Amino acid sequence: MTVTFNEDLIVRGTLIPSSVSLPANVITTSTQVQAGANLNADKTEQRVYPSWTQPNTASTTETRTLFVARRAGTVNEVIAGSIVAAIGDSTVTLDVKKNGTTILSAVITLDNANTARIIESGSISGAGTFVAGDWFEVVIVATINTGTLPTGVFVQCEVDQDGA
């Protein structure tokens, strides 16, 4: 049996329906979704952690792709570090670029002031937003002087990508 209400319905107790059919686009905030709900991936924002790691040998200069955005989103954080810290005056700088332009206020520098296995955070310049198709890469520059370069250098981004 179908009952139609042409006015607001107020339930002062608990409403326990066996099923509910909601119109499209009525759930618009995460507070309206039960924690642990099993939603399809294309309906949710995805948090991913793309990274690049060099082997546990002296760092080398290189440019590598981190990821290509599949949807619009935001880079929330960039971190870097090494398994073994630099000794003396040798340094490694890491820069994350979007379509060839840096997203950081300044490169992350790994030198003798850093500690092994302790992350260094980069400061994102602006909002860190991107659109589908944006290309992200890491540029690592190893400068050996009279000291020793760090080993096992890595960079990692925290990225939120929109649902479909």
pLDDT at 42 over 80: no
Whether residue 18 is contained in a domain is answered as no
Positive or negative torsion for Cα 24, 29, 30, 31 = negative
Asked if residues 90 and 144 have their Cβ atoms less than 8 Å apart, the reply is yes
Query: Does any domain span residue 90?
Result: yes
Residue with tokens 């939603």: 39
Is 4 within a domain?
A: no
CB 92 within 8 A of CB 61: no
Q: What is the number of alpha carbons within 13 Å of residue 26 lying toward its C-beta? A: 5
User: What is the value of pTM for the model shown?
Assistant: 0.80
60 lies in a domain? yes
| 43: phi then psi, degrees, rounded to nearest 5 | -105, 5
Q: What is the pLDDT of residues 67-91, one digit of tens each?
A: 999 999 999 999 999 999 999 999 9
∠ Cα 86 88 90 (to 5°): 60
pLDDT tens-digit readout, 99-110: 999 999 999 999
93 inside domain:
yes
| 144: in domain | yes
Residue 17's pLDDT is: 84
The pLDDT value recorded for residue 43 is: 74
Q: How confident is the model at residue 3 (pLDDT cuts 50, 70, 90)?
A: confident
Domain range for 56: 46-161
H or E element in which residue 140 lies: strand 135-143
Has residue 16 been placed in a domain? no
Q: What is the CATH number of the domain that holds 135?
A: 2.60.120
Which pLDDT belongs to residue 34? 81
Longest dimension (CA), the chain: 85
- Residue 37 confidence (pLDDT): 80
What's the whole-number mean pLDDT along residues 36-50? Answer: 83
String of b and e for 41-63 (b: at least 16 CB within 10 Å)? eeeeeeeeebebebeeebbeeee
> Are 156 and 115 a contacting pair, CB within 8 Å?
no
pLDDT digits (tens, 9 = 90+) for 110-156: 999 999 999 999 999 988 999 999 999 999 999 999 999 999 999 99
pLDDT at position 160, please? Answer: 95
Q: Is residue 84 part of a domain?
A: yes
Count of the separate structural domains present in the chain:
1
Residue given tokens 């890595």 in the structure block? 154
